[in-house]
Structure 1
């Protein structure tokens, strides 16, 4: 059996103004031979200001209706909830235990971050696993985590040290070309209206698409004309090949000039490719 009055509370707890905060607290005391019939938990700000008492009339005006003992004293849990948190709620706060027909003692001796993680470089069509974590101090009203990309996220909540909890949202998406260079944003909305966002930009690798040959729309016989091969890819096309119906032409770049065109000049085809992908043709 314990011989001393002891309590475990963090030295400090960080919360968000307008949201709620839970101060984790556990205690012990020299138990009397006869099991106590009634335990009363009281919280003080400073030495004299009562911020929680079972009799609400004993609570100072600024804290009346904002504090709740969420711990079960029978389980030696004295955790206190403050909701909503005000800027002035800086403490120090002290827990006091009173045991009916026995003893009483005060235990005097004893912003927001958000992170998104994912693999940022993927190939088109690959699945991307993203997770978003945020710390908070209100387990009964955790922040709502939302994503800018459609999907079905899973939520996990885990208690940390010093009265903090971590809320994590995980989601898997299948990357598309439209996702390239687009931010994947995670937003945490706290009770009280405060929001915090963080993002990562997707780098989706894909082979050349929309390959086409461009040039002037009309030309006279005997003129010279320059044709340009364009494409959309990530990374950008590394090489271009030109050919006609008879086979490849010596020109290797994205442009080719035809001298003295006639009505018999053949159609040209262009093939674009990156270093890692197969070529895609256009004409």
Structure 2
């Protein structure tokens, strides 16, 4: 029975720009063509002046496509082909006899012999932070960190730069269309030493990928307002002596 898998190709340029389909649903035993184009600064080069390399995830030495066949990892030999013309800035790749363990992510690298090299690599979803702008000394404060992912069997782990287990609550939920969300709630009572502190939420994904987001905490001194009324009791009842507003 054939199964379909999604190749994750979230590729972002480190030194230039690239365009690629981010998700492709593939039928196992079939083939897949991954559309890809790229840019680089300077004068346009011919195909013979460029070397395009596709590799697996963070393993830069694990080539799934290389012009030198001897450098391609064993399980991809004879199954990958650069169908795009590098001279036209097209890095489209074909994979035949697709297998269930071919699910990526994949990264593209362009090399200019005697010149610069550019990498287009996997970029994880960045966590989103939700919080009140104002935090008050001595009053409970909460920050929510969330990230969307596509692998429910290996949930991303969200960690904070501060706070113990008793201050962190984590929830998981499906949001439909093959996507899931992890939410982490950090609650604490800030003090004066927390003012201007950076708080970071890091997302650690299966396979070693990670990303993070941070916020700068501004703690204000709590202003307490008391309405004070003083009474004196006499035989005729309470006598109103004074009322005042007290502020700290």
Asked if these proteins are the same fold (TM beyond 0.5), I'd say no
Q: Which has the larger radius of gyration?
A: 1
In the superposition, the TM-score normalised over structure 2's length comes to 0.41
If each structure's helix is expressed as a fraction of its own residues, which one has the higher value? 2
In the superposition, the TM-score normalised over structure 1's length comes to 0.36
